[in-house]
Amino acid sequence: MRPSPADPLFAGIDVGSSGARAVVIDETGATLSEGRASMAEFGTDPRNPMTWAAAVESALGAALGCVARGRVAALAVDGTSGTLVAVDARGEPLALARMYDDPCEDSALLAAIDAAAPAESAARGPTSGLARAALFARLKPARILHQADWIAFRFSGRFLSDANNALKTGFDPVVLAWPAWIERVGVDAALLPEVVAPGAMVGTITPAAARAFGLPADVGVAAGTTDGCASFLATGASRVGDGVTALGASLTLKLLSDRPIFAPRYGVYSHRLLDMWLAGGASNSGGAALLAHFPPSEIEALTPLIDPEADSGLDYYPLTRKGERFPFADPDFAPRMAPRPERREQFLQAILEGVAGIEALGYRRLADLGAPRLVSMRTVGGGARNPAWTRIRERKLGVPFLEPISSEAAYGAALLARRAWSG
């Protein structure tokens, strides 16, 4: 029996470069089950799409094993932004995937993209998604898909993408179309998937996928998004001015805006998301700059010795190497990590303050470019667990810090599935 409107369940799938996760939620947003799998369990090459598929099957199977599968109403997939795969007419991969961080070594191709693309396009740069698509076009594929597109294809049987995953491949999120200029760099738009809004219902599950996962034949498949956008949705941020900072290896800022902000000279671009815009950028500073000087155990031991209410008096710009991309772009910008105090806890505090200062500058940069001012903060990533760092950031940002509902991208994908099913 199919679920009544009172008891449907929704599955979200997050697939990345190292593993897959799945979450099942109910209509209230409560998480009922989770599953995860490492790519390493199924193959040695994370570029092999069949390894992605095996990890997804394991993660989703584990999550569905803890719920009544007959109640599942819809699912959605998020994936790594910029990772592409070329497929034949049956959807079978023609080659290993090109990953989000694979640089393009064809300088002529990058020059052609720079000459053809508008200044605000996210398709520019050495890790351009459009450059990867142009290289795959030489294989004469039936379609070139993003990672999330290909996984979703295995559920829906349709070659579709979403406006977020398509952004770095050249899709224009303002006019909602593949622009004509991409053909000048060797990419026929017919090779790229049709693009729909994240959270749009795109069809029902294929009979083969329904049998494989023990799901009803009419489970809906919703358009997904990128892992970064899904993580933002997962936190519960939903109002203009809500910000989410990811304190991972790098420092990533995202701000919900009522208008798009594109400023490549500052490393800023925007995703169209749920009738609004998600503006932001990623600094080269962050947790990697911290871990270059302190192991996690020492950070934990020294944190109680820090007084986060009193500044260290040091003005650091922590980086692991030369170069910054946001809140300004300067490939020659050098780290500023001196003078170095004798006390290790003071050195740690100065680094924490430095990263927090970059974060504050980033949100000011977005406001200067026309985005709304920051009104609230939610934090994800390992740095969110450090109480001294949190208090330092509270002082520098001057806005309320709110607890995220979830930090799992798969949860954000499940929310998109719920949105699609509810109309």
Q: What is the pLDDT of residues 125-145, one digit of tens each?
A: 888 899 999 999 999 999 999
Same domain, 153 and 186: yes
The answer to whether residue 234 sits within a structural domain is no
Average pLDDT of the chain is 95
Same domain, 189 and 244: no
Same domain, 191 and 89: yes
pLDDT of residue 3: 56
pLDDT of residue 127: 82
Same domain, 169 and 297: no
Tell me if 24 sits within 8 A of 72, measured CB to CB.
yes
Tell me if 31 sits within 8 A of 23, measured CB to CB.
yes
User: Residue 366 has which token pair?
Assistant: 């977005």
Closest CA to 84 of 150, 157, 5: 150
Q: Which domain holds residue 95?
A: 9-229+409-422
The answer to whether residue 146 sits within a structural domain is yes
Same domain, 245 and 165: no
The C-alpha atoms of residue 211 and residue 25 are separated, in whole angstroms, by: 21
Cα maximum dimension of the chain: 69
HEC-encoded secondary structure of the chain: CCCCCCCCEEEEEEECCCEEEEEEEECCCCEEEEEEEEHHHCCCCCCCHHHHHHHHHHHHHHHHCCCCHHHEEEEEEEECCCCEEEECCCCCECCCCECCCCCCCCHHHHHHHHHHCCCCCCCCCCCCHHHHHHHHHCCCCCEEEEHHHHHHHHHHCCCEEECCCCHHHCCECCCCECCHHHHHHCCCHHHCCEEECCCCEEEECCHHHHHHHCCCCCCEEEEEEEHHHHHHHHCCCCCCCEEEEEECCCEEEEEEECCCCCEHHHCEEEEEECCEEEEEEEECCCHHHHHCCCCHHHHHHHHHHCCCCCCCCCCCECCCCCCECCCCCECCCCCECCCCCCCHHHHHHHHHHHHHHHHHHHHHHHHHCCCCCCCEEEEECHHHHCHHHHHHHHHHHCCCECCCCCCCHHHHHHHHHHHHHHC
Q: Give the Cβ contact number of residue 99 at 10 Å.
A: 16
Mean pLDDT for the stretch of residues 99-111: 91
The answer to whether residue 4 sits within a structural domain is no
Mean pLDDT for the stretch of residues 167-194: 96
Residue 298's contacts (CB-CB under 8 Å, 6 or more residues apart) are: 344
Q: Could you read off the pLDDT of 143-157 as tens digits, one per residue?
A: 999 999 999 999 999
CB burial string 294-313: b at 16+ within 10 A, e below: beeeebeebbeebebeeebe
Closest CA to 413 of 16, 130, 129: 16
pLDDT of residue 169: 96
The C-alpha atoms of residue 14 and residue 233 are separated, in whole angstroms, by: 13
Same domain, 225 and 243: no
The C-alpha atoms of residue 10 and residue 73 are separated, in whole angstroms, by: 6
Beta bridge partners of 195: 161
Same domain, 221 and 250: no
The answer to whether residue 404 sits within a structural domain is no
Q: Give the Cβ contact number of residue 404 at 10 Å.
A: 18
Mean pLDDT for the stretch of residues 66-90: 96
Mean pLDDT for the stretch of residues 7-13: 97
pLDDT at 1 over 50: no
The answer to whether residue 123 sits within a structural domain is yes
The answer to whether residue 74 sits within a structural domain is yes
Tell me if 319 sits within 8 A of 282, measured CB to CB.
no
The C-alpha atoms of residue 121 and residue 46 are separated, in whole angstroms, by: 28
Same domain, 217 and 90: yes
Same domain, 274 and 206: no
Mean pLDDT for the stretch of residues 109-116: 96
Same domain, 204 and 244: no
Q: Is the pTM of this model over 0.85?
A: yes
Q: Is 176 or 423 the better-scoring residue by pLDDT?
A: 176
pLDDT at 44 over 90: no
Domain tally for the chain? 2
pLDDT of residue 381: 87
Same domain, 217 and 274: no
Mean pLDDT for the stretch of residues 343-360: 98
Same domain, 353 and 253: yes
Q: Could you read off the pLDDT of 212-256 as tens digits, one per residue?
A: 999 999 999 999 999 989 999 999 999 999 999 999 888 999 999
The answer to whether residue 255 sits within a structural domain is yes
Q: Could you read off the pLDDT of 366-391 as tens digits, one per residue?
A: 999 999 999 999 999 889 999 999 99
Say what percent of the chain tops pLDDT 90.
Answer: 88
CATH number of the domain at 39, please: 3.30.420.40
The answer to whether residue 283 sits within a structural domain is yes
